[in-house]
Chains A and B, each alone.
Chain A
Amino acid sequence: MAEKNSDFEPNIVAFLCNWCSYAGADLAGTSRIQYPSNVRVIRVMCSGRVNPLFVMNALQQGADGVLISGCHPGDCHYMQGNYYARRRFMLMRNFLEYLGVEPERVRMSWVSASEGAKWKEVIEEVVSGVKSVGPMNKFQRRQLNW
């Protein structure tokens, strides 16, 4: 069983679309809403840009969890990108679960530009979910131990 000690601070890589979720995260900032510092963001123009293999790559690189966030259905700046993302991640998440990667580690959310508060909730949810399953070392790349 993975170690689940309480001071485990997970490292979460998040892919946010520029128009909704990144703006929502910015709004959380402008509103000074405090949330855990575990999430590190990569901005893309649209959640449709996120290749599900990025998730695999992040987990290999040492991330304990991955979050993909985009506009709510119907709100995509490019109309359809989030729908593609939804399909891709549904399948990828199921598949990783099938291999034994806990679903808590691969999350997806819809956060709009006005949902600074929701962003915080999402982060808290993701962080606590990842904490509950402990560090991801299943297929992390071997440290080079210099």
Chain B
Amino acid sequence: MAVKKLNKDKVKEALQELTKFRLIAPAKSDEVVVFKQISDPEEAFLDYGNSTVPPKKVVFPQTETLFRFQRGNPELREKNVEEEGTTVIFGLRPCDARAMSIVDNLFSWDYEDPYYLKRRELTTLVGMGCVNPPSVNCFCTSVGGEPCGTENLDILLIDLGEGYLVRELTEKGKKLAETIGSFLEDAPGGSEAKAEELSGSAKEAVSRSIDTSGIEAKLPTLWESPLWKEVSAACLGCGICTYLCPTCHCFDIQDEVEGAEGRRCRMWDSCMFRAHTLHASGPNPRPARKERTRNRINHKYSYFPGKFGVIACVGCGRCINLCPVNIDILEILGKVVEA
């Protein structure tokens, strides 16, 4: 497909055009970068490393009403995702986009989740390659990704300095590019080569890595290993590592009732929470931090690849960056490899 260029002085106008959709872009809230719906291009903050909260919340909201109900009325009113309209996520990182395709597996497996899938269908992903040096804890290249990877993106932008190289990757992407076609120009010669070079050096710059090849098979053998206790001793069970992980997708379903009305909601949950597997009758099959940490790693690096053939981690490094007690997934994986 076509390769165009979006000059930086046109970005605002292009974004303005895109606000006719539900436009989600990175924005600053105080010093924190989050993805949120913007109505004014000024709100967009494109010069960022990666967002604290991954854009997964756009397709898999933290709280989602599935349907509403009313006392004495057998009718259920289902959420109509269609009403949310066409969505554009502008400027997400390739790892986060890749993460969505990983999560897709879960929601379209034996049960096809209409809410999630509909939203995915309505969403166009405009990625932004990681050509600025990636963060210290990025390790996408160890788990099948790369800083300027295109997987699951509809468009990839690569920052060439004075403007972005625009790579249309899908039909959806092409259609979107047409909407802002008037702000695009043809990429001058050499742009592609420059982009390739930038991508290459970005890849080089990913400093941390792990050899994941044997891990899926190794993990089941380490079930009783003392390593779990050791690596989880400091864990607070706060769930930051999972809530803010772009591939984590645990949810809980709760009814929220007010007077005669109520709604059934699906909300994020975390396997790092003590109550995650707590049975109403009292016992907890994952009673301690060690079981929970073991589950987190096994789920990402063994169960998920076992079932879907892909590691449920894209190496974005958030869980390392944000863990309050410096529990480091690469360190854990390193110990798994060594064990």
B-binding residues in A (CB < 8 A): 141, 144, 146
Q: Give CA–CA (A104, B262) in the complex, Å.
A: 31
Give me 10 A-to-B residue pairs in the complex whose CB atoms sit less than 8 angstroms apart, sorted by A's number. Answer: A141-B258, A144-B68, A144-B258, A144-B261, A144-B262, A144-B263, A146-B68, A146-B70, A146-B77, A146-B261
Given the complex, which residues of A lie within 8 Å of B77, measured CB to CB? 146
Contacts A141-B258, A146-B68 supplied; 8 other A-B pairs, CB < 8 Å: A144-B68, A144-B258, A144-B261, A144-B262, A144-B263, A146-B70, A146-B77, A146-B261
Given the complex, which residues of A lie within 8 Å of B70, measured CB to CB? 146
Given the complex, which residues of B lie within 8 Å of A144, measured CB to CB? 68, 258, 261-263
Q: Give CA–CA (A141, B258) in the complex, Å.
A: 9
Given the complex, which residues of A lie within 8 Å of B68, measured CB to CB? 144, 146
Q: What 7 A-B pairs come out closest when comparing CB atoms? A: A144-B261, A146-B261, A146-B70, A146-B68, A144-B68, A144-B263, A144-B258
Q: Give CA–CA (A144, B263) in the complex, Å.
A: 8
Chain B residues touching A, range = under 10
Q: Give CA–CA (A44, B261) in the complex, Å.
A: 27
Q: Give CA–CA (A141, B77) in the complex, Å.
A: 19
Nearest CB of B to A117, in Å: 35
Q: Give CA–CA (A146, B262) in the complex, Å.
A: 9
Which one of B68, B70, B258, B262 has the greatest number of beta carbons of chain A within 10 Å?
B258
Given the complex, which residues of A lie within 8 Å of B261, measured CB to CB? 144, 146
Q: Give CA–CA (A141, B262) in the complex, Å.
A: 12
Nearest CB of A to B258, in Å: 6
Nearest CB of A to B67, in Å: 11
Nearest CB of A to B160, in Å: 44
Given the complex, which residues of B lie within 8 Å of A146, measured CB to CB? 68, 70, 77, 261
Q: Give CA–CA (A144, B65) in the complex, Å.
A: 10
Q: Give CA–CA (A47, B52) in the complex, Å.
A: 44
Docked complex: B244-263 residues within 8 A CB-CB of A: 258, 261-263
Residue of B nearest to A145 (CB): B68
Nearest CB of A to B257, in Å: 9
Given the complex, which residues of A lie within 8 Å of B262, measured CB to CB? 144
Q: Give CA–CA (A146, B73) in the complex, Å.
A: 11
Q: Give CA–CA (A12, B181) in the complex, Å.
A: 57
Q: Give CA–CA (A44, B72) in the complex, Å.
A: 32
Q: Give CA–CA (A144, B257) in the complex, Å.
A: 9
Docked complex: B71-115 residues within 8 A CB-CB of A: 77
